[in-house]
A and B are shown apart, each in its own frame.
Chain A
Amino acid sequence: MMSSFLFRAMDARAGIFLAILGAAIILVPASNLLVPENSPFHVPTYAVTLMGKYLTYALLALAVDLVWGYCGILSLGHAAFFALGGYAMGMYLMRQIGTRGVYGDPILPDFMVFLNWQDLPWYWSGFDMFWFAAVMILLVPGALAFIFGWFAFRSRVTGVYLSIITQALTYALLLAFFRNDMGFGGNNGLTDFKDILGFDIQADTTRAGLFAASGLALVVCFLICRAVTRSKLGKVLVAVRDAESRTRFLGYRVEHYKLFVWTLSAMMAGIAGALYVPQVGIINPGEFAPANSIEVVIWVAVGGRGTLVGAVLGAVLVNFAKTWFTAALPDIWLFALGGLFVVVTLFLPKGIVGTISGGWTALRQRKISSDYEKGSDEPPSTPPQSPSAPANIIHCEPVARFPGTTKPQPAE
């Protein structure tokens, strides 16, 4: 009875989260478009765009949380997938400009005309169709992640080494996209977009629509992540995180699990990037910067790694703080961000959501045991942890425990 309550509590958390998100998806665009401008409930368009940007960041954080929080792969290169998705969307948007560019060339984007290119490079063809761009948004980051992961996981590159080579990956892409010869606009990237799917990209309605699309993408990806982490697959992932060798000895093909979740996560990051680009109106190689990837990790760490809600919450909170700080106290921002890294890793290793929920669980358990001591006839039961419960992150001990398993392991 108790356990079912806790299960419901877990569901309730996701439910509350989805309800808030759903409300935001409906209310924010509505209050932007329907409420008159002088009303106190009116949300200005810039705020809609800003919040839309937060939602795409949240989606990116969700993707990082899926691999880091549940599978223990600390990726310092997720910005690469984010930016690749963004570039795929940017290429579609560039092709939509058509003759409205500065040089008025119907086929070639402005920067290619400027560089005296005669033909569209082969990899730009097809991007005038939205469906093709949409496929590429998933396919390009996914394929890169698949190839990279296939090599890395098969060779059992783990831990810090993997983190460092993911960083090298995004750094190499950063350098590559800075080159004009690559055909992606070099230093300036892709910008000056006009419309998306026929709608003017600057219009309030389009902005509201993009916000809603970001919200919906976040909801869908949240549900996917939840489904993955609550399935048996998710339990194996947690096992890989906590004791990779043991999981392998138990007969699981660890690299296949890792590769699946890694590729899935990269695709989600790609979607986030694709939704990000039309809202900020530019994509340039700076998005590949290794520092960006590390920042994403801190969003997840602040919110609570191993909790999907935490990742979203962390991304929104930290970015809100960033917006506020960089406007009000620009000099303080890096101090604050740096301090956040240190404080969170030292004092809040489970993040906000993890700590609160851990405290909540401890409180309940104390209550249960005190009830039992008082002579309650209910037997005490340890609450079974669902994978959406805060990750039971174990450090130091070489002998790691599976969260929630009470049966003795065959290996022991």
Chain B
Amino acid sequence: MRSGETFDDKFIQVRLPTLTRLFKAGGPMSLLKSILVFFCLFAGLTGQAFAQADAESLRNLVNELAKGKYAETEQQIEALVATGNPAAAPVLKALGVGNLYFRKSDNAVFIARKSGKTFVLTDPLTLEPTGEAGKREIKKIKVNNKLRRVVRAALGSLTLQAPDPEVRRSAASAIFKAKDPDSIPALNVAIAAETDDGVLKVMEQARAAAVLNSDLDASDKLAAVATLSEMGNRDALSLLIGLQSTAEGDLRDAAVSAAAKIEKSIAAWDTAQNVWYGLSLGSVLLLAAIGLAITFGVMGVINMAHGEMVMIGAYTTFVVQELIRTSAPGLFEYSLLIALPLAFLTSGVIGIGIERGVIRWLYGRPLETLLATWGISLILQQAVRSLFGPTNREVGNPDWMSGAFELGQMTITYNRMWIIVFALVVFAALMLVLKKTPFGLYTRAVTQNRRMAASMGIRTPWIDALTFGLGSGIAGVAGVALSQIDNVSPNLGQGYIIDSFMVVVFGGVGNLWGTLVGAMTLGVVNKFLEPYAGAVLGKIFVLVFIILFIQKRPRGLFALKGRAVEA
């Protein structure tokens, strides 16, 4: 049955470059969608390099499909599968979706597609176009639901031996879903030949699923239960639960205990996943709030334009990427790294401008500051809207920011992971600046006792301006990160401003550690509420919780103590 196997494998290694070229040249192919991509894979395999005899016998088998009723068709399909020749896959696929026709004149089988009044014919094995045919000249090879199932299973077994491990893996997953006992022999062969560990595992799981669905004896099924129990995900769980209701004796006990074990591990992984999502949300909150923790927390300035600083950072990223696209496409991978200092400077300079122009006249009048900065935020929003238009702007993800990887049962996307890392780095850098540099020392001195600091020769107005600039700049840097996960539009900032204030107030004004703890707590709490209450209600609960919390501790989680509080 698998006489050509070793030959196939060598052949594949030779042909692979051609295959990749075929894929890359796939521009016009995109019309015919993914099915044809699949076809092309095999088109490359079925070229003239195939042994003439093989091709000849296969064609005969294919042409056989033109004859007979459903029962015969089923046998013919089995014969095709028995060749183990992947070239038969497109034929079966076309048969399954009802695109396989035969010409009445010579009983030759074609894949046909309707195009206007005629049909475009494609050779089922070479996949080359072979002209057109009128409606009368050809006839569809009929399939019923039973045949479709047979075709699916047949395709599964055929593709189990495909050269591409990804194809093999998806074939095995398909069998896992179908749980078709008939594919066990094919799986056995495939498992014996499999070299890729990952694919081997999927195949074994598929086999276990099929075994449970078959009438094999209990010892085989017990082994299958063990395999599924190791697999430990939801699919395995649903299989085992299904088994509980049908099986008896030892098998049933094994299924029950395995299901319980899986349930436990799934619950643990779910918790881990929730914590991860929560940390991810918390890091976004932290990024948005940390600049505010400086301007509001340390300086006591209510900066309602804070969200707009974030937005400006995001737009800086957009401008940087546009410049890179037009002048230096090779630097695209580094666009975010280039945007970071620029966003810091842009937002920081605008922040210093706001402080010098407006806020410094309003020190000691927090409510007026709130209103004036709200006005500034409106102006900045409209300015950005006039410059860049009201629609969302596309900010691309570099390769290292896109994609995901699996950790156990969790899926971790790279952009979320990098944002968590980035938020923590920004936090650490800010702590370092405030605690270890002369500038940080001056800032703290001015915050704690302005007059004394001035008496010691610190130029307090400059420190005010620079601190405000620092807070704004950090917001700009946050904007670079948030541009990767949010829509870059003039309204970007508004979405964060309330959350940011909540985080700062919750964590405790004037305390950066409080902001960190506050952001992460709110993030995690929010994500844990979501499954029970839904996203919106969860958020409402969090807001109500904060409102109540402020009643209890008006100065936040980590309140500053001492004289500074009353100032």
Interface residue B361 (Cβ < 8 Å from any Cβ of A):
yes
Q: List 17 A-B contacts (CB under 8 A).
A: A157-B550, A157-B551, A159-B366, A160-B367, A164-B502, A165-B505, A168-B498, A175-B543, A331-B382, A331-B386, A338-B374, A338-B377, A338-B378, A338-B379, A341-B372, A346-B372, A395-B368
Contact A164 B375 (CB under 8 A): no
Question: A160-B366, A297-B371, A346-B361 are known contacts. Are A155 and B554 too (CB-CB below 8 A)?
Answer: yes
Instruction: With A161-B505, A334-B379, A337-B378 as known contacts, state yes or no: A179 contacts B537, CB within 8 Å.
Output: yes
> Smallest distance from the beta carbon of B313 to chain A beta carbons, Å?
20
Tell me the complex Cα distance, A178–B539, Å. 12
* Residue B565 lies at the interface, judged by CB distance under 8 Å to chain A: no
Taking CB atoms, residues of chain A closer than 8 Å to B426 are none
Given the complex, which residues of B lie within 8 Å of A165, measured CB to CB?
505, 546-547, 550
Q: Shortest distance in angstroms between B360's beta carbon and chain A's nearest beta carbon?
A: 11
Contacts of A168 in B (CB 8 A): 498, 502, 543, 546-547
Residue B82 interfacial (CB < 8 Å): no
Interface string of B538-549 (1 = CB under 8 A from A): 011001101110
Q: List CB contacts (< 8 Å) of B355-373 with chain A.
A: 358, 361-372
A152 to B552, CA, bound (A): 9
Interface residues of B in 131-158 (CB under 8 A from A): none
User: For A331, what are the chain B residues with a Cβ–Cβ distance below 8 Å?
Assistant: 382, 385-386
Is B94 in contact with chain A by the CB < 8 A criterion?
no
Contacts of A160 in B (CB 8 A): 302, 366-367, 370
Chain A residues 154 to 198 lying within 8 A of chain B, measured CB to CB, are 154-157, 159-161, 163-165, 167-169, 171-172, 175-176, 178-179
Is the pair A155, B552 in contact by a Cβ cutoff of 8 Å? Answer: yes
CB within 8 Å of B: which of A286-309? 290-291, 294, 297-298, 301
CB A365 to nearest CB in B, in angstroms, measures: 26
Q: Report the bound CA distance from A395 to B362 in whole Å.
A: 9
Task: Across the interface, name the chain A residue whose C-beta is closest to B498.
Answer: A171
Q: Does A15 contact B (CB under 8 A)?
A: no
At the interface, yes or no: A101 with Cβ under 8 Å from chain B? Answer: no
Q: Tell me if A14 counts as interface (CB < 8 A to partner B).
A: no
Give Cα A161–Cα B565 distance, bound, in whole angstroms.
13
A165–B501 Cα distance when bound, in Å, is 9
In the bound complex, residues from chain B placing their C-beta under 8 Å from that of A298 are 371, 374-375
- Residue B376 is within 8 A (CB to CB) of chain A in the complex: yes
The contact of A338 among B302, B362, B382, B554, by CB within 8 Å, is B382
The answer to whether A335 has its CB under 8 Å from any CB of chain B is yes
List chain B residues, Cβ under 8 A from A333.
Answer: 382
Q: Are B358 and A179 in contact (CB under 8 A)?
A: no
- Determine the distance from Cα of A161 to Cα of B366 in the docked complex, in whole angstroms: 10
Q: Does B381 contact A (CB under 8 A)?
A: yes
Which A residues are in CB contact (< 8 Å) with B361? 346
- Residues from chain B with Cβ under 8 Å of A339 in the complex: 375, 379
Interface residues of A in 341-358 (CB under 8 A from B): 341-342, 344-346, 349
Chain A residue with the shortest CB-CB distance to B363: A396
Q: Are B554 and A161 in contact (CB under 8 A)?
A: yes
Q: Does the CB pair A156–B554 fall under 8 Å?
A: yes
Q: How far is the CA of A159 from the CA of B386 in the complex (A)?
A: 35
Say yes or no: B498 contacts A396, CB within 8 Å: no
Task: Name the B residues within 8 Å of A342 (CB-CB).
Answer: 358, 372, 375-376, 379
Extra pairs beyond A340-B375, A346-B372 (6, CB < 8 Å) = A154-B551, A160-B366, A168-B547, A172-B547, A176-B536, A345-B369
A155 close to B381 (CB less than 8 A): no
Query: Does the CB pair B547–A169 fall under 8 Å?
Result: yes
Q: How far is the CB of A25 from chain B (nearest CB, A)?
A: 32
Once the chains are docked, how many angstroms separate the CA of A171 from the CA of B539? 10
Rounded to whole angstroms, the CA-CA distance of A250 and B358 in the bound complex is 37
Residues of A at under 8 Å CB distance from B? 74, 148, 151-152, 154-157, 159-161, 163-165, 167-169, 171-172, 175-176, 178-179, 290-291, 294, 297-298, 301, 331, 333-335, 337-342, 344-346, 349, 395-396
Please give the number of chain B residues whose Cβ is less than 8 angstroms from any Cβ of chain A in the complex.
45
> Looking at the complex, which one of B364, B367, B381 makes contact with A74 (CB distance below 8 Å)?
B367
Cα distance, A395 to B381, chains bound together (Å)? 30
Instruction: Decide yes or no: A159 and B498 within 8 Å by CB, A168-B543, A175-B536 being known contacts.
Output: no
A290 touches B498 (CB 8 A): yes
A349 touching B382 by the CB < 8 A rule?
no
Whole-angstrom distance between the alpha carbons of A290 and B378 in the complex?
A: 13
Secondary structure class of chain B's binding surface, majority of residues: helix
CB within 8 Å for A396 and B550 given contacts A164-B505, A175-B536: no
Q: What residue in chain B is nearest A343 (Cβ atoms)? A: B375
A337 to B537, CA, bound (A): 33
A168 to B497, CA, bound (A): 11
Tell me the complex Cα distance, A155–B13, Å: 76
**In the complex, chain A residues whose CB is within 8 Å of the CB of B540:** 172, 175-176
- B543: chain A residues at CB < 8 Å are 168-169, 171-172, 175
Q: Which residues of A contact B548 (CB under 8 A)?
A: 151
List the B side residues contacting A345 at CB < 8 Å. Answer: 362, 368-369, 371-372, 375
Q: When chains A and B are docked, how far (Å) is the Cα of A294 from the Cα of B375?
A: 10
Contact: A172 with B544, CB < 8 Å?
A: yes
In the complex, A164 Cα to B554 Cα: how many Å? 12
Residues of B within 8 A of A290 (CB): 498
**Interfacial chain A residues near B536, Cβ < 8 Å:** 175-176, 178-179
Report the minimum CB–CB distance from B508 to chain A (whole Å): 12
A297 to B375, CA, bound (A): 12
- Kindly report which residue of chain A lies nearest to residue B300, judged by CB atoms: A160
Q: Nearest residue in B to A289 (C-beta to C-beta)?
A: B494
In Å, the complex CA distance between A349 and B367 comes to 11
Task: Return the contact of B501 from the options A157, A164, A176, A178 (Cβ within 8 A).
Answer: A164
Tell me the minimal C-beta distance from B491 to chain A in angstroms. 10
Q: How far is the CA of A105 from the CA of B509 in the complex (A)?
A: 54
Q: How far is the CB of B463 from chain A (nearest CB, A)?
A: 19
- Residue of B362, B537, B554 touching A346 (CB-CB under 8 A): B362
Nearest chain A CB to B374 CB, angstrom units = 5
Which residue of the partner chain, among A159, A161, A176, A337, contacts B375 with CB atoms under 8 Å? Answer: A337
Note all chain B residues with C-beta closer than 8 A to A341: 371-372, 374-376, 378
CB distance from B299 to the nearest CB of A (A): 13
Q: How far is the CB of A387 from chain B (nearest CB, A)?
A: 20
Q: Mark each residue of chain B from 491 to 529: 1 if its CB lies under 8 Å from any CB of chain A, else 0.
A: 000100010011001000000000000000000000000
Whole-angstrom distance between the Cβ of B364 and the nearest chain A Cβ = 4
Which residues of chain A are within 8 angstroms of B363 by Cβ–Cβ distance? 396
Q: Pick the most buried of A169, A171, A178: most chain B CB atoms within 10 A of its CB.
A: A171
Residues of A close to B378: CB separation below 8 A: 334-335, 337-338, 341
Flag if A163 contacts B370 (CB, 8 Å): yes
Name the B residues within 8 Å of A297 (CB-CB). 371
Of chain B, the residue at the smallest CB distance from A333 is B382
Do the beta carbons of B374 and A294 come within 8 Å of each other? yes
Determine the chain B residues whose CB is within 8 A of the CB of A155 once the complex forms: 550-552, 554
Assembled-state Cα–Cα distance A220/B361 (Å): 39
User: Which 7 pairs between the two chains have the least Cβ-Cβ distance?
Assistant: A341-B375, A338-B378, A338-B379, A334-B382, A172-B543, A155-B551, A338-B375
> B551, A152: Cβ atoms under 8 Å?
yes
Residues from chain A with Cβ under 8 Å of B554 in the complex: 155-157, 161
Closest Cβ–Cβ distance, residue B378 to chain A (whole Å):
3
A339 to B368, CA, bound (A): 14
CB distance from B339 to the nearest CB of A (A): 26
